[in-house]
Amino acid sequence: MWSIALLILLPLAASIAVLRAPDPQTRDLWVQRWSIALIAVTLLFGAGCWMGFTDQTLYAIPHWLQTALDGFFDLVGLILAGTLLYLCRRIKWNEWYIPALILTQTGILFVAEAAATHPQVEHLFYVDPFSVLMALIIGVVGGLIALHAVPYMRDYHRHAPEVPDRRTGFYAAILVFLSAMFGVVFTNHIHWLFVFWEITTLCSFWLIAYPNTEEALRNAYRALGYNLIGGLAFAAAILWLAAGSGPYTRELDRLVGAGQLALLPAVLIAVAGLAKSAQLPFSSWLLGAMVAPTPVSALLHSSTMVKAGVFVLVKLAPVFQGTLAGLFLGLIGGLTFVLTSLVAVNQRNAKRVLAYSTIANLGLIAMCAAVGTAEALWAAILLILFHALAKALLFLGVGSAEHLIGSRDIEDMESLVYRRPELAAMLLIGMLGMFLAPFGMLLSKYTSFQAFLAMDLLPGEGALLAVILAFGSGPTLFFWSKWMGRLVARPHRLPSIPNAPPRAEQLVLGVLTALTALSCALFPLIELGFAMPYTQQLAGLGLIPAHAMAIPWETVGIMSLMLGGLFILPLAFWLKPPLYIESDPYLSGANVEGESYRGAMGAERLATNQGYYLIGFFDERRLMQTGIIGALGLGVLMLGSSL
């Protein structure tokens, strides 16, 4: 119990300390120290929980403290609404809906609060294996990102002198964000969960708007607006739980335990989850969020924000299981998965590729959550973990590369294997980790296939979702491999990169690379320690059908062998490089020294290559529009079928 309080309060204390730091040097030092402390505390907490898991543990606190905290959270909620309204002072006329949303949301909550009686809240916090794993992701990955941010932001301001230096607030916002995320994963009180939820929205707004340009502001408002739509749905769920005909409760465990009786509030909260995890039709806010400095993107995409969205979806999975609303939720995820994977093929901007791939993978997690069987939840939980690690690595790696080569265009990363081998190796491992055997994401995909086909709730649902997954895998393969192809290409006459990334950045990237690789090798530990106990516990409560599932040891063995080969072959190659005669590539015999050739008019030309983006084949705008319309339709069906 007290460890939860520690986890929530530690980043909060850190942010206050950072705000009070006397000068920039001390501040940077403190950010680093507090981040390291956060990582250490989270690891200790995780290890402690891993050793002694028994069951879901619910915690109550003394009555007087609870009353005080209740008042405190009401106050925070009001301050939050006030702050958000204050931030709206720079909106444009066509963003009128944002203050309207804030006011409506506050109004709904006020009505819910003003009711004569409130549902009693017995347990305020809980710890279960899934939330512990989430805490580990938030603390460790989030802490690493904060560590990386310090040297990165120094470079950032050197590269962009026009951006006002508000770094103190920046670090503080990141830390508050982490604190709120801990709150989201541990609190059992739905109203408090909502407050934490809105704090993440506020922090993300502030971080996206950091560059203070017109574009950044507009994108930040879009992110705020879309997340507030989700927040409105969440507030409506709270009102329903207080005054509707469904379960009369304010506790998350009771809500989940009510099963299909709680379908309507669960669907409303799922809308909030979909908005936060940038699923269609809300996807565009996450793409707009890329104007922010890279650590913000890394934070939003890997350990916080979008993961809060899928976290509640997975939490609510037992409610959706076997319902029509669940099918529509899964189809929204599936639509998002296929369309954003296709759109990612079009992208030349590395960060946009990463963003679309994040949205796609979250779609897959949403599909798993909607299916809600033990296997599907297992897959969803491991997807969350592997995705967080690989995506944090990729974002930070792309950020470091961008500072070195001055561009985030995939074509400009050509030959990175030769120009900056260590950085390229990390990026390659991150990419392999995202889509190829023997890495974890693929293992989760494998389990998803199995889970979809093994379910027998609605006829044909599983097969449909499995086909969607199969279709999305093709383009996924294409856009990652194309990017890898550019990285491994031998250099023409590209300038080499004289300086390495700062040491602290390298260290963080190295740790994330090691974690990406290790989490695949050690995944049975994660499986036995977190994913299995969680699904067993849900099955024990009778919320999902009990199903003995385990990845057979043979599969684990084969995967480990492949992983071994993937590391040993390059190592052998490096230790004992084969001696072959190097020659120029084939240019129809018209080579002129190296990679130039004698062209038509006798002129000397350099033979250059670029990747395929199939822009004439898939049209980003049309696909996304189709997706938004389709997802809106599915969303209406989802809400309709839950009534």
Instruction: Closer to another protein by CB, 161 or 577: give it.
Output: 577
Instruction: Closer to another protein by CB, 112 or 517: give it.
Output: 517
Instruction: Closer to another protein by CB, 24 or 585: give it.
Output: 585
CB of 40 to another protein, least distance (A): 36
Instruction: Closer to another protein by CB, 200 or 447: give it.
Output: 447
Instruction: Closer to another protein by CB, 215 or 456: give it.
Output: 456
The Cβ of residue 636 has, within 10 Å, a number of other Cβ atoms equal to: 11
CA-to-CA distance for 323 and 137, rounded, in angstroms? 31
CB 401 within 8 A of CB 550: no
The token pair at 3 is 């460890």
Cα distance from N-terminal residue to C-terminal residue, the chain:
37
CB of 286 to another protein, least distance (A): 24
CA-to-CA distance for 42 and 137, rounded, in angstroms? 9
CA-to-CA distance for 643 and 640, rounded, in angstroms? 6
The token pair at 468 is 């969607």
Instruction: Closer to another protein by CB, 460 or 602: give it.
Output: 460
Main-chain phi, psi angles of 304, to 5 degrees = -125, -165
CA-to-CA distance for 340 and 475, rounded, in angstroms? 9
CB of 454 to another protein, least distance (A): 8
DSSP secondary structure, 96-117, as one string: THHHHHHHHHHHHHHHHHHSSS
Main-chain phi, psi angles of 281, to 5 degrees = -85, 10
Instruction: Closer to another protein by CB, 192 or 439: give it.
Output: 439
CB of 385 to another protein, least distance (A): 19
CB of 620 to another protein, least distance (A): 17
* Structure letter (DSSP) for residue 118: -
Q: Is the dihedral of CA 471, 379, 354, 271 positive or negative?
A: positive
Residues forming the site for another protein (CB under 8 A):
414-415, 417, 436-437, 442, 446, 449-450, 453-454, 456, 459-460, 462-464, 466-467, 469-471, 473-475, 477-478, 481-482, 484-486, 488-492, 554-555, 558-559, 561-562, 565-566, 569-570, 573, 577-578, 580-588, 595, 607, 609, 611-612, 614, 617
CB of 232 to another protein, least distance (A): 37
Residue type (1 letter), 490: R
Report the SS3 class of residue 33.
helix
CB of 552 to another protein, least distance (A): 8
Instruction: Closer to another protein by CB, 503 or 576: give it.
Output: 576
Whether the bond between 438 and the residue before it is cis, its omega within 30 degrees of 0, is yes
User: CA angle at residue 182 from 180 to 184, to 5 degrees?
Assistant: 70
| Angle, in degrees to the nearest 10, between helices 421-435 and 461-488 | 170
The token pair at 618 is 């898939």
CB of 459 to another protein, least distance (A): 5
Instruction: Closer to another protein by CB, 485 or 502: give it.
Output: 485
CB 235 within 8 A of CB 198: no
Instruction: Closer to another protein by CB, 422 or 456: give it.
Output: 456
CB of 604 to another protein, least distance (A): 15
CB of 212 to another protein, least distance (A): 40
CB of 360 to another protein, least distance (A): 14
CA-to-CA distance for 81 and 201, rounded, in angstroms? 11
Instruction: Closer to another protein by CB, 461 or 505: give it.
Output: 461
Q: Which spans in 347-373 are helix H?
A: 350-371
Q: How far is CA 52 from the centre of its chain?
A: 28
